[in-house]
Amino acid sequence: MPRKNDILNKLTIQDLPIKGKRVFIRADFNVPIDDNLVITDDRRIRSTIPTINYAIDEGAKVILASHLGRPKGKVDPRYSLAPVARRLQRLLNKEVIFAPDCIGSQVESMVSRMKDGDVMLLENLRYHIEEEKNDPSFAKALAKLADYFVNDAFGASHRAHASIVGIPKFLPSAAGFLMKKEIEYLKGSVEDPVRPFVAILGGSKVSGKIGVLGNLVDKVDKVIVGGGMAYTFIKALDFEIGDSLVELDMIELAKEIMSNLKKKGVKFYLPVDCVIAQEITPGTETKIVTTQEIPKGWKALDIGPASVKLFSEAIQNAKTIIWNGPMGVFEIDAFSRGTTAVAHAVADAYAMTIVGGGDTDYAVHKAGVSDAITFISTGGGASLQLLEGKELPGISALTDKT
């Protein structure tokens, strides 16, 4: 039986005879764009460049497509991919033809005029409601543009949308280089880790990470939990947590997870102190207290210095680290120190370090240590789903190697 998310069983772009052929590359160009339509972070675009350059060098006609934001099936200039076309042009140092739509006779005739090595970017897939509905005739209209399909949109591969799972029903379909790398790192780290293997989880909600914790119980040596989600665990241990974030419906599950971790001999770390405030606003009064002493009316918004020391020591001898989710409300300077300190500890560890999730990625860059991280995933939801041990629809849909 084929194993879940097993990229080794799937075709990759290098298996396709793309010379002189039309190749439809689904990318994840869902980048932040400000009010002046300037791209403020182009890392997702840069990550797909190796796949695009390979296709150009092989002499393919390269047709790129992506979603951007949530235009909800309507044409909305705020979500146009035009700024992405301009940025791509600079990054590739070559003309990028920009199509005004992603399907239809005008686009088809533009594609028919493409020469080998030409690059075209289609307009936002989500201008058509059929994309998110995985409509078969929309997928067929997209597939009509090309001879081969390549999925390099790891960040969108947990979604069963037309451009992810629909097109592969009509065309031979392969993984791009970014997709392959993402799966190899995220799956490899969990399935065959060099030990000690430490997982660091943070962010606001236990509910968002509970699947990951459940899947990792059998695999990790240590689990560190920080961020808002830690206080549900602390409450489950019968401590008062003031007005800190809590998910009361997760308390029983939190108890179960802690008991499972204990049974498996996995070391489990929670914050021992925290930075508290009454308001989540910059400039508000803050205090550092132990986790047992959070007063009513106060919220724990970052881990404190003793927790930073505890977590850093737990990370120090790790050989594999995965980290997803900030340790506090890192968007506000007063509550960002814990996340920054953990970023430094992860970067300093002599380990394979894998960071996932948009916030954690941002925190690592803000701390200036991104170059010291082995792999930063481009997909938040997709990386969590992979760490939960779930199948990614976008990978299953690719053509099996024979």
Using CB under 6 A as the criterion, which residues of the chain lie in contact with ligand AMP when the complex forms?
203-205, 208, 227-228, 245, 300-301, 325-326, 328-329, 331, 357, 359
Q: Closest approach of Cβ 277 to ligand AMP, in Å? A: 10
21 or 205: CB nearest ligand AMP: 205
Q: Which among 21, 205, 309, 366 is annotated as catalytic? A: 205
What's the chain look like in SS3? CCCCCCHHHECEHHHCCCCCCEEEEECCCCCCECCCCCECCCHHHHHHHHHHHHHHHCCCEEEEECCCCCCCCCCCHHHCCHHHHHHHHHHHCCCEEECCCCCCHHHHHHHHCCCCCCEEECCCHHHCCCCCCCCHHHHHHHHCCCCEEEECCHHHCCCCCHHHHHHHHCCCEEECHHHHHHHHHHHHHHHCCCCCEEEEECCCCHHHHHHHHHHHCCCCCEEEECCCCHHHHHHHCCCCCCCCCCCHHHHHHHHHHHHHHHHCCCEEECCCEEEEECCCCCCCCEEEEEHHHCCCCCEEEEECHHHHHHHHHHHHCCCEEEEECCCCCCCCHHHCHHHHHHHHHHHHCCCEEEEECHHHHHHHHHCCCHHHCCEECCCHHHHHHHHCCCCCHHHHCCCECC
Catalytic residue status for 59: no
Q: Which among 69, 117, 214, 381 is annotated as catalytic? A: 381
Q: Closest approach of Cβ 308 to ligand AMP, in Å? A: 14
Q: Cα-Cα-Cα-Cα dihedral of 228, 232, 234, 240, to 10°?
A: 100
Amino acid at position 56, single letter: I
Q: Closest approach of Cβ 71 to ligand AMP, in Å? A: 23
- Tokens found for residue 7: 């990229």
- Tokens found for residue 17: 């005879």
204 or 374: CB nearest ligand AMP: 204
279 or 400: CB nearest ligand AMP: 279
Catalytic residue status for 205: yes
Q: Closest approach of Cβ 268 to ligand AMP, in Å? A: 18
> What distance in Å separates the CA atoms of residue 359 and residue 384, rounded to the nearest whole number?
13
Catalytic residue status for 358: yes
Q: Which among 10, 22, 44, 222 is annotated as catalytic? A: 44
How many Cβ atoms are within 10 Å of 70's Cβ, its own excluded? 11
Q: Closest approach of Cβ 335 to ligand AMP, in Å? A: 7
Q: Closest approach of Cβ 370 to ligand AMP, in Å? A: 18
Q: Closest approach of Cβ 205 to ligand AMP, in Å? A: 5
- Tokens found for residue 348: 């300093």
71 or 326: CB nearest ligand AMP: 326
Catalytic residue ranges? 44, 205, 358, 381
